[in-house]
Copies of this chain bind each other. A is one copy, B any other.
């Protein structure tokens, strides 16, 4: 089955039927995929405000109505509790389990936040001939905690997490302009060149994901990362949170190219 050419709706149907339970990278090519964070309503205002104040690391694509498992804007006929291939449940900031659907855990006070994902800009980079090393090497993107403080909001505070892609000097401007034009999926790099300048002291050992090869003459380029909001939320140890499992994203009905309009 070629999931790359299937519509988001058809892929989500297979996910809902548990015929797809793995990572979604490359599925429904050209359509935006999203990070998921589901929080109880009493934390929703603080998190919505955190996202408003930190749009680079936390670009919201949609926020559900309280208790609703459907969306209105980025996907139609969807069930948030079933349409991702794998979920994680955290209790008091600790991972409590992974599930292929979370209907049994759903509550009337839950609010779902769908957050832009760098999968979108990676396909734009590849299309433009910019290399994406972790895709070449078939692993997860390397991610690092930085010393760049997010703007706090209510109970949520913490530092930005970044993803790193090594680039040859002559591709940095192109990559900056391409991603800078896609602010709803993290936008332009937050830093180019010197890991120490943003508090990364050991580039070889990322805090999340896998290390990739940096060739001679290549520069590490850092983008705001969608792990930031999850990281910040877990730090505040909320009693109950649902997220996607890493790489097991929500596939939207919105084309990457339409996210800017």
**Residues on A close to B: CB < 8 A?**
44-45, 48-49, 51-53, 60, 62-63, 72-73, 151, 183, 188, 261
Name the B residues within 8 Å of A72 (CB-CB).
Answer: 151
CB distance from A184 to the nearest CB of B (A): 10
Q: Please, how many angstroms separate the alpha-carbon atoms of A44 and B151 in the complex?
A: 19
Q: Please, how many angstroms separate the alpha-carbon atoms of A151 and B72 in the complex?
A: 9
Please state the number of chain copies in the assembly.
Answer: 2
Q: Please, how many angstroms separate the alpha-carbon atoms of A188 and B48 in the complex?
A: 25
Contact of A151 with B73 at beta-carbon distance under 8 Å, contacts A45-B44, A45-B48, A48-B49 already known = yes
Q: Please, how many angstroms separate the alpha-carbon atoms of A49 and B68 in the complex?
A: 15
Is the beta-carbon distance between B52 and A52 smaller than 8 angstroms?
yes
Name the B residues within 8 Å of A261 (CB-CB).
Answer: 188
Q: Please, how many angstroms separate the alpha-carbon atoms of A13 and B150 in the complex?
A: 29
Q: Please, how many angstroms separate the alpha-carbon atoms of A188 and B261 in the complex?
A: 9
Name the B residues within 8 Å of A48 (CB-CB).
Answer: 45, 48-49, 52
Is the beta-carbon distance between A63 and B53 smaller than 8 angstroms?
yes
Name the B residues within 8 Å of A151 (CB-CB).
Answer: 72-73
Closest to A48 in B: B48
Name the B residues within 8 Å of A73 (CB-CB).
Answer: 53, 151
Closest to A45 in B: B45
Not counting A45-B48, A49-B63, A72-B151, a sample of 15 additional A-B residue pairs whose C-beta atoms are within 8 angstroms of each other reads: A44-B45, A45-B45, A48-B48, A48-B49, A48-B52, A51-B52, A52-B52, A52-B60, A52-B63, A53-B62, A53-B63, A53-B73, A73-B151, A183-B183, A188-B261
The 4 closest A-B pairs by CB, nearest first: A45-B45, A48-B48, A52-B60, A52-B63
Q: Please, how many angstroms separate the alpha-carbon atoms of A45 and B66 in the complex?
A: 11
